[in-house]
Amino acid sequence: MNYRHSFHAGNSADVVKHSLLIALVRALQLKDGALTLIDTHAGCGLYDLGGEAAQRTGESVQGVARALVDRDPLLDEYRAAVQAVNDDAEAHLYPGSPRILAQLLRPQDLLILNEKHPEDVYALRGAMRDTPAAVHQRDAYELWLAMVPTRTPRGVVVVDPPYEQTDERARITATLATAHRKWAHGVTVIWFPLKDRETHWRWKQQLGRLGIPKFLVVEHWLYDQDQPGIYNGAGLFIINPPYAFTQALPPLLEALRSALAPDGHRGEITADWLDA
């Protein structure tokens, strides 16, 4: 599955991913200690929803457009993050994870971004020029291992690949195993697309064999049954989520499910601990 950020900006997966990232970082910031936020596959940072790539799929109509007109206050902070990069109530631009994370920074926090694609890293540097973010152009998995443990006592690594390579899941699994040995208390967030339940189940089985405790699995299935050959949803693996985040998660997930359910489908969004 090829999942270049620019073609899918502002879709339902982005709404869930960014809503949960905001909630996660805010929960960690309940303590004053500095955080290092690392995005290994940062993309362009900012996306034009009227541009050719986004218009080719039109996925933002079923994502950020639905979230912006929803009235659930649990999505207020997500909506504010989107509106912060726009001049009016409509979303013409969409903030990728780098811009979302930059909005959350406190003076003591650090933001490290990485993007290997030459055109995308050029766009990323432009999108982040008014922020304190450090931008790298390296192999994502090499950078992941090089940056942990973080220099600050606490940190978050966000892994959000396009899944262009057939070995992407294998590289994530192997790198996570090594990173966890180096940084067992660190928070790691891994985004994944959902194409079918069987493929996803096999990967969860492989990850379970790593024996990592406190491994939360959030799955957002858009449709009531798998739709063959298309994108069926997305989710997050979250290692070491803070207690305040997990306690507040159920109502936030229900708000997201309600806002994003396609017409004629209830959809499903769940959060469960992976059995080690």
For residue 1, the model assigns a pLDDT of 44
Report pLDDT for 2. 44
Residue 105's pLDDT is what?
Answer: 98
Cα→Cα distances 115→59, 72, 119, 244, 257, Å: 23, 34, 9, 31, 30
**Consecutive sets of 10 residues in the chain, 276 residues long: mean pLDDT of each?**
68 97 98 98 95 82 94 97 89 95 98 96 97 98 98 97 93 98 97 89 96 97 72 92 98 97 89 89
**Given this model, what pLDDT does residue 227 score?**
65
14 with 64: CB under 8 angstroms?
yes
End-to-end CA distance of the chain, in Å?
Answer: 27
Q: Which residues are catalytic?
A: 160
List the domain boundaries for the chain.
5-273
Among 3.40.50.12140, 1.10.10.2520, 3.40.50.410, 3.40.50.150, name the CATH number for the domain at 5-273: 3.40.50.150
